[in-house]
Structure 1
Amino acid sequence: MQLEVRGLKSGYGKVQILHGIDLTVPPKEITAVLGPNGAGKSTLMKTIAGHLPVMAGEIHYRGNSLVGHSALSICKAGVGVVPQDRNVFPALTVRDNLRAASLAFEGAEERVAEVLRRFPILAERSDQAASTLSGGERQTLAIAMALVAGPDILILDEPTAGLAPIFVDRIVSWVRELAEEGMGVVWVVEQNPEKVLAVSGTAYVIDAGRNSETVDAKSLLAPGRLEEVLLQVNA
């Protein structure tokens, strides 16, 4: 089942940031969301995940509206999210971070064991505090924490920001594998756009809280197109 967002309006308090966004996230595909700074990309992800209230519009998944539901109920419905920052508990060990993320679900220990099998680097560091991990390891842990809930839709808010190239490649590869296994992925792209777009299906370009373009992601790899989209420079 795909996630459908229609006419979504949202923001912070009385300040409206999104002005009627449309978005479709099919299974087995990475859907890229990009645009200039301040376009409303993170606001869109937070609203879908239930971290911000919906002012107007609809969010549907599996035939049910997610509007007005708590972040936990949306997670239990099958929509996982990896925020850009403050996405792990620094003082807890890797294993305890995963346990904390799985507390609301049955079979917590089995869920933790499964993601540790998927990410051997975390298994090797399972007794280390999250604060001692490298940036790439910490972001891997954040993704693993989202996966313990067993989502069918995974929202990633720029998961490669500031990471070393080796971890960028690993995360792109891991996320591509998740999509190939059937998961629908929404990837907010700010850094490393070429690598993300190369493995994505559809790209939604957002500007000033509105849909600007909906295109085949790989078409944005044409010379000058990314600069046009991200910097708003006419090609």
Structure 2
Amino acid sequence: MAETRVLIVEDEESLSTLLDYNLTKEGFLTVLASDGEEGLLKIEEERPDVVVLDWMLPKVSGVEVCRRVRQNVETQNIPVIMLTARGDETDRIRGLDMGADDYMVKPVSMAELAARIRAVLRRIRPALVAETVTVGDIEMDRAAHRVRRGGEEIHLGPTEFRLLDHFVQNPGRVFSREQLLNAVWGSDVFVEARTVDVHIGRLRKALGKHGHDDPIRTVRSAGYALETS
């Protein structure tokens, strides 16, 4: 679960801090936003694996954020768990009708929230919670930190492993250098974009060591993608 990115959109600072602390302790990578407008921006920039979204938010409401996420073809498959002080069944139904995948009434049990995040990911994006994932002839075992291609062992450095893991979670999708920097190195670490090219080169060399074709496609002026065939 260590590579699963959770966006927390919550305007109450104490609760946001509590959610951040507990979900980080559970092994998730957390990103924070304090209002609906910032939440939409972070969804566009960070492309989280799941969104934990408060119902009542400044600027843009949680329900409206959820509606826009579902309307956008690039974000419509991101799981959304809504948090609210509203326990009324009609409000719950409205949230689910707007596209929320799950709904929790405050005060929230942190252990239950973590369990629901894992459950929704198992339903919607099982590759994120599986220890062993296969894309084409590439097999990754996250628990053992091992990679095989066509049955042959592939030795990767930690950064190359995280790069490949990110590609495997999103096969066929093109990522810019900046998106890869944020996903693999983190948005709070200063690394030059050129560094991505160096590590992509190392990953390509390792994956092609036994005579295999290069599975990473370079998209001019756009970035890189992992081919699925």
TM-score, normalised with respect to structure 2: 0.30
- Higher CA-based Rg: 2
Q: Normalized per residue, which structure has more helix? A: 2
